[in-house]
Amino acid sequence: MAVQPFVYESAPVRVVFGSGTIAAVAEEAGRLGVARALVLSTPQQEAVAKRLLEALGGRGAATFTGARMHTPTDVTDAAMAIVAAKRIDGTVAIGGGSTTGLGKAIGLRTGLPQIVIPTTYAGSEMTSLLGETEGGQKRTLRDPRVRPKTVIYDVELTLTLPPLLSLTSGINAMAHAVEGLYARDGNPVLSLMAEEGIRALAAALPAIVRLPADKAARSDALYGAWLCGIVLGSTSVAIHHKLCHVLGGAFDLPHAETHTVILPHAVAYNASAVPQAIARVARALGVSDAAGGLFDLARNGGAPTALRDIGMPEDGLDRAADLAVADPYWNPRPIERTAIRALLGRAWAGERPRTASGSSE
């Protein structure tokens, strides 16, 4: 076997995983020296944010409940006004990727420590990656200032996550691991985490759709999302994430649903270039056909499989293709405008993914 050179750097994040672990939030804030925490949430989770502020006791200073998808910079500006007015010295974000992103954006501007309490399977809490939207374009960056210091995983908080959102959020997490398996800066350790993360989620998500209160399945899904988040935080992303960033930033499509629709098509696009990596995806899914397996996982669970069903206008497909090739991420298969436009057309219509040869992937 040829020598495979690689560099592996573990992420310095404290993880508290279990059931009822949200009760440790004040203690964890104390470990970080946070005395005036700002609790972050979306408008829909305002009541949860208020309860969390109470749980922080004397270490909670205020709440900001205006987090939005794709981390618009004007929302961060509004939160920063509270940071200044209340002399905030740390943030506690509860929710999904929207809230985590806002905490990261504040961290980027201030260097303040972050605690994140995920209630979905987004995985971004384990990364130093931030995507911000301004002027209709989403830009991403990596910076150690945006990596949370502590992540509290509480299975109890995911029990009420609706089955459909659980499914799309979980497939979003899978996307991180899938791209980690063929990332140019991947390594054997991360590949093990990626395959295990996909396996755990693939087993858990159908069980959650059938029985949302299945605590064992919820625990497995959260475990899988954690692993997928580590992979995302340690490797670069490719065409799948590029397309999702374009579609989310330019057309304001829902984040997890966009990942769910695009992932099977991105896997089909790259299948011929990285067959060993795609074979590992298939093995983790328990199928012989990776792209088709991902498509079926979404469809059988009732998740969207067509961009047209989540708000993508057909007359925007050409612009999306142009944006995707204008500043492309590295990808194992060359980024070809004609092929990307065809991929987007199939994804828009909800067709089964196909390889470049036209056969089912």
Q: Cα-Cα-Cα-Cα dihedral of 323, 324, 327, 331, to 10°?
A: 180
Residue 61 has pLDDT above 90, yes or no: yes
pLDDT score, position 116: 98
Q: Is 85 left (phi over 0), alpha (psi -120 to 50) or beta?
A: alpha
Render pLDDT for 169-206 as a digit per residue (tens, 0 to 9): 999 999 999 999 999 999 999 999 999 999 999 999 99
Render pLDDT for 248-269 as a digit per residue (tens, 0 to 9): 989 999 999 999 999 999 999 9
Q: Cα-Cα-Cα-Cα dihedral of 198, 199, 203, 208, to 10°?
A: -30
Are the CB atoms for 292 and 353 separated by under 8 Å? yes
Span 64-77, average pLDDT? 95
Pairing of strands 137-142, 129-134: antiparallel
Cα angle: 75, vertex 81, 87; to 5 degrees:
135
Domain boundaries, the chain: 14-158, 163-349
Question: How high is the mean pLDDT of the chain?
Answer: 94
pLDDT score, position 15: 96
Render pLDDT for 185-195 as a digit per residue (tens, 0 to 9): 999 999 999 99
Q: Give the dihedral sign, CA 332/334/340/346.
A: negative
Nearest of 43, 42, 71 to residue 245 by alpha carbon: 71
357 to 88, 334, 353, 354: CA distances (angstroms): 56, 15, 11, 8
First CA to last CA distance, the chain: 29
The CATH architecture of the domain made up of 14-158 is 3-Layer(aba) Sandwich (3.40)
Span 276-293, average pLDDT? 98
> What dotted CATH number matches 163-349?
1.20.1090.10
